[in-house]
Amino acid sequence: MKQLRALSPKAPTPIGTSCKVTRDDEQVMYLRQRPARVLIYDPGTAPHDLAVRVGGLGVATVTVIGGEPSADEVPREELDLAMLGLSRDRLAGLSVAVALSARCPWIETMFWYDDPSGVTAAVAARSLGITRVLPLDRLMKWLEVAFTRLAAAARARRELLRAQRDLPAFPSADLGIRLSLPEAERGFREAYLRRLLSEEPNHAVAAQRAGVPYTTLCSMIKKLDLG
């Protein structure tokens, strides 16, 4: 992994280590106990103070990686946000995104570029269906509003996935009853008509939607006592 450095106004922060920057803001009160965890991938074009700028968006722990990281070199902690840089010569940000999506399926991921050559990579990313791709300055402006919400969304999604994973298997039950075909057809017809009439109480319009004559629909409603 290439060694880079992220500098704060007061002291250097080595790449591959973490820095914590806080801001007294009511919108990020819920993050104070557990700072948002942000990963930045820098292809070599990021401003030297990017980690500090990102940390300044809220209460956050920021980790920066660079070079051509393998899947094993991508941090394994439970990350909340990923800001992945793109450049013409380095598309490793896409590889990092793949590793992160497998390791942290709840993560909120954004791509950025900070030099003209990154536009080509951004177009390639969009062709793959990636929509969160912006020049770095515009992304940072958006994050001023979206940061805490993204962190909250990532954590909520993580808790949801954990809860779903930990659910016990739903027990199977043999009710010992087998419906005959006429009974099954009647049950389906009744459920279908109830839903149809709840959406369209006008019988003439409902008959058109069901593709049956008006008199046929009225007959079925009367037979099933749905009137």
Three-state secondary structure call for residue 162 = helix
pLDDT tens for residues 91-145?
Answer: 788 888 888 888 889 999 999 998 887 888 888 888 888 899 999 999 999 999 9
- What pTM did the predictor assign? 0.64
The reply to whether 129 and 97 lie within a common domain is yes
The reply to whether 105 and 33 lie within a common domain is yes
pLDDT tens for residues 66-82?
Answer: 888 777 777 777 899 99
Number of domains in the chain: 2
Average pLDDT, the chain: 82
**The total number of residues written for the chain in this structure:** 227
Q: Are strands 60-66 and 36-42 parallel, antiparallel or unpaired?
A: parallel
CB 22 within 8 A of CB 59: yes
Higher pLDDT, 88 or 134: 134
Tell which residue, 57, 73, 72, 65, has the closest CA to residue 21: 57
Is 172 a member of any domain? no
* CATH number of the domain that residue 81 is part of: 3.40.50.2300
Is 215 a member of any domain? yes
pLDDT tens for residues 139-163?
Answer: 999 999 999 899 999 999 999 999 9
- Domain assignment of residue 67, given as a range: 5-165
